[in-house]
């Protein structure tokens, strides 16, 4: 897709009266009698960038690291905004584009920075928006960058500036609004009971990068739409098309931005968005700084569980052919409008930990310390908790029907009152109660928890009841004992060892997700050592054993 842009010297400036109105609102929130967490939630909804109906753009940042005496002058703390002056070809693997470069002052209020700016361009399906981040200069004249953890669009990765996006226009033009009218609380009735999305029966788990020849959501959308059109026309499906039918929900492996790998030819720098030297350019008698930027199309996605957390509200650009958030909504709408009956979308959310790369991107208040994955997130700090839940809200507002919470057993904290490490069940249950708002239609998500507590204790797999959260939160689901982690039915004696768990599935398995096929299938199934005790009753070759172990009604 070619994204249009016009060479112009837009008048970007801080709008003083509107900024003061925003500051007054934030001050009234902080002065309210609400809890720290309640205030944090209200503030979090206006953090990041928001393109308004009046054409102005609001910016808000939580910056606790700036409370100390690190700011030396009024000009040392600014919004740095890059607006494309020449067309961006989002399909190109590499290109150099000229950007207008502006520095706009911001207003500091305690731990927060606010600004309302005119002249900012908002991105949409066909037009690139302005890119932004916060920059400041410390006492040693070193430049620091603060990125937006609640960004809507990160087309060139999490180390690049985020893009201002017209989310109101995106929601207004989506093609599945009738689906939300049928399934959500009535628009304009604030006291109406918010319904929870009904439970699906069969869930298809998909890894976007390998689910279509293109390896993108657009490629997957074309497959779903082709199958839907054939069903509507009563045409026979090919075997490769039939595998997408028979499910009432699709669960994507995580599509949050993942860690980015440093290129060997760039001195260790992240080069999806590489800034050149600032130049001066004159247009319409206004002097404007111009900077050439080398853009490389992001290509980093693994299983999706190595996340830096920042911008988890957006979609990993590596799975977006167009690098546009509209591509996500198109995919969701294709599922909701499916001719064989609406198919729901479930997001796999990874908010239990951060990769160590997150330390480079987020303020230290987000982290409690290292763990086996990288860093524990500080869910107990009210403002961090509020921002993480706001990340989730913006994510599900793309149109999701459910969430699967990865690693529920990892949400732990030390409770000084009890002197023990405890599970943060209050936060997990709050994730289940985040309200979706699609163009005024409100719903609660169908919720799945992966929770194998008391992991990582020895013998956790046999000790775990897999029941804690479903008993605390009626209507939610947990991964059951057959699907969790060590699902290796290729091994001799597997079902003998699992027989007690099979009985539990039969007699108390309500609100469990069960079976053996999930994203651990390849990871666990293909990591079995060839010299292990294989169940050769399943086949004569290892591929045959794998196929028959997983692909049969018993599993």
Give pLDDT, residue 9. 46
509: three-class secondary structure by DSSP: coil
The structure's pTM equals: 0.93
- Give tens-digit pLDDT for 522-534: 666 677 787 889 9
Architecture of domain 176-255+304-479: Alpha-Beta Barrel (3.20)
Residue 404 contacts residue 347 (beta carbons within 8 Å): yes
| Beta strand residue intervals within 255-361, DSSP E | 273-275, 279-283, 286-296, 344-349, 353-354
> Residue 155 burial (CB < 10 Å; 0-12/13-18/19+)?
buried
Q: Where are the domains of the chain?
A: 2-146+262-294, 176-255+304-479, 490-555
- Give tens-digit pLDDT for 147-162: 999 999 999 999 999 9
Give pLDDT, residue 302. 82
83: three-class secondary structure by DSSP: strand
Give pLDDT, residue 300. 85
Burial 391-412 (b: 16+ CB within 10 A, else e): bbbbbbbbbbbbbbbbbbbbbb
Residue with tokens 């994507």: 252
Residue with tokens 């198919």: 343
Nearest-angstrom CA–CA distance, 502 and 505: 5
For residue 69, give both structure tokens.
Answer: 């005496």
Q: What is the 3-state secondary structure (H, E, C) of 404-446?
A: EECCHHHCEEEECCCCEEEECHHHHHHHHCCEEEECCEEEECE
Residues of the chain with pLDDT under 50: 1-9, 70-75, 283-285
Give pLDDT, residue 281. 56
Nearest-angstrom CA–CA distance, 173 and 59: 24
Q: What is the 3-state secondary structure (H, E, C) of 242-279?
A: HCCCCCCEEEECCCCCCCCCCCHHHCCCCCCEEECCCE
Residue 223 contacts residue 241 (beta carbons within 8 Å): yes
Residue 163 contacts residue 331 (beta carbons within 8 Å): no
- Give tens-digit pLDDT for 302-346: 889 999 999 999 999 999 999 999 999 999 999 999 998 999 999
Nearest-angstrom CA–CA distance, 389 and 404: 14
Give pLDDT, residue 525. 67
Residue 377 contacts residue 366 (beta carbons within 8 Å): yes
- Give tens-digit pLDDT for 57-81: 999 999 998 886 544 444 478 999 9
Nearest-angstrom CA–CA distance, 247 and 205: 10
């Amino acid at each position: 897709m070619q994204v249009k842009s016009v060479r112009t010297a837009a008048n970007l400036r801080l709008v003083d009266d509107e900024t003061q109105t925003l500051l007054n609102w934030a001050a009234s929130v902080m002065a309210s009698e609400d809890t720290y967490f309640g205030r944090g939630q209200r503030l979090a909804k206006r953090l990041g960038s928001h393109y308004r109906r009046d054409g102005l753009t609001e910016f808000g940042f939580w910056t606790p690291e700036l409370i100390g005496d690190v700011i030396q002058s009024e000009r040392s703390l600014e919004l740095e905004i890059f607006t494309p002056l020449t067309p961006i070809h989002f399909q190109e693997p590499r290109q150099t584009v000229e950007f207008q470069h502006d520095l706009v002052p911001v207003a500091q209020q305690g731990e927060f920075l606010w600004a309302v700016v005119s002249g900012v361009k908002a991105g949409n399906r066909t037009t690139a928006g302005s890119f932004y981040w916060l920059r400041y200069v410390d006492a040693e004249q070193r430049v620091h960058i603060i990125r937006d953890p609640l960004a809507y669009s990160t087309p060139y990765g999490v180390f690049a500036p985020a893009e201002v996006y017209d989310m109101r226009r995106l929601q207004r033009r989506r093609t599945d609004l009738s689906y939300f009218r049928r399934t959500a609380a009535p628009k304009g009735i604030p006291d109406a009971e918010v319904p929870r999305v009904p439970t699906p029966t069969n869930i298809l788990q998909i890894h976007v990068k390998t689910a279509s020849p293109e390896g993108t959501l657009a490629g997957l959308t074309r497959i779903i739409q082709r199958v839907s059109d054939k069903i509507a026309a009563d045409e026979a499906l090919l075997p490769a098309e039939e595998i997408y039918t028979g499910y009432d929900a699709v669960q994507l492996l995580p599509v949050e931005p993942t860690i980015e790998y440093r290129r060997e030819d760039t001195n260790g720098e992240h080069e999806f968005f590489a800034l050149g030297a600032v130049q001066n350019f004159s247009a319409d008698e206004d002097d404007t700084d111009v900077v050439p930027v080398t853009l490389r199309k992001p290509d980093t996605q693994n299983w999706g569980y190595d996340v830096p957390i920042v911008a988890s509200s957006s979609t990993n650009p590596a799975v977006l052919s167009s690098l546009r958030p509209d591509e996500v909504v198109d995919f969701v709408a294709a599922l909701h409008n499916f001719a064989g009956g609406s198919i729901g979308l479930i997001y796999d959310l990874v908010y239990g930990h951060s990769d160590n790369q997150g330390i480079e991107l987020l303020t230290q208040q987000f982290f409690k310390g290292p763990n086996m994955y990288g860093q524990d997130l500080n869910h107990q700090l009210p403002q961090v908790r509020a921002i993480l839940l706001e990340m989730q809200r913006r994510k599900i507002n793309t149109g999701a029907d459910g969430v699967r919470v990865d690693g529920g057993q990892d949400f732990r904290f030390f409770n000084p009152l009890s002197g023990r490490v405890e599970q943060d069940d209050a936060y997990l249950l709050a994730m289940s109660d985040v309200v979706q708002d699609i163009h005024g239609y409100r719903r609660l998500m169908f919720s799945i928890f992966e929770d194998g507590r008391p992991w990582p204790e020895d013998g956790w797999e046999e000790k775990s009841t897999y029941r804690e959260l479903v008993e605390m939160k009626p209507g939610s689901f947990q991964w059951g004992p057959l699907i969790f982690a060590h699902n290796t039915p290729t091994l001799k004696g597997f079902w003998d060892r699992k027989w007690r768990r099979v009985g539990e599935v039969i007699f108390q398995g309500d609100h469990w997700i069960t079976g053996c096929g999930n994203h651990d299938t390849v990871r666990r199934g293909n990591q079995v050592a060839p010299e292990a005790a294989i169940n050769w009753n399943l086949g004569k070759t290892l591929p045959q054993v794998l196929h028959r172990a997983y692909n049969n009604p018993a599993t």
